[in-house]
Amino acid sequence: MQKALQGAIGGLNVPKGVCRFRTQEEADEIATHFATPMGREQRIVVEVKVVGELLLTNYTFTDRISDRVTGSEREFARMQAIWAEREPFRVRNFDGDVGAARFASRNPGVKYVRMLAIQGVHAILGHIDAVCAEAVLAVSQTAAQSDPFIETYRRRTASQNP
């Protein structure tokens, strides 16, 4: 079960080694809980409130990502659709469910949420930053190929703006 949890934390492809439980029993307990209807609901809450909001804050409030990039509309629409499917503002009542109470108040549930918030989000941010750095490097290595186009544009617009 630990392998299944490792590869699919919140439906995200989290890098190997992020999901670490001390025992196989801990991993099995989390996976078994998430297979229940109440466990699925708790997983959604954790994904939305812990992972989703931390990532959203990191990338939007810091201006590290912009939703105004031409051509990104499809990607943003897809992310919004996935977010809406999780019904982030729907009230969920976990009262009276023993499994939900155990997950929210004791290990391995508490450990899982803490691990996801710290290690999981850190790994996701690190991966995104590495991909961005790779893209910047690729563009900078081929920047000279665009120089003739830039120079042509400058010559054309120089006569329009004396």
Domain contains 156: no
* Residue 131 falls inside a structural domain: no
In a domain, 141, yes or no: no
45 within domain boundaries: yes
18-22, 65-69, 138-142: lowest mean pLDDT where?
A: 18-22
In a domain, 155, yes or no: no
In a domain, 127, yes or no: no
Q: pLDDT tens digit string along 77-109?
A: 888 898 888 888 889 999 999 999 999 999 999
- Residue 7 belongs to some domain of the structure: yes
Q: Is 95 helix (H, G, I), strand (E, B) or coil?
A: coil
Residue 7: which pLDDT band, with cuts at 50, 70 and 90? very low
Total number of domains in the chain: 1
Q: Residue 99 belongs to what domain range?
A: 2-121
The whole-model pTM stands at 0.64
- Residue 100 lies inside a defined structural domain of this protein: yes
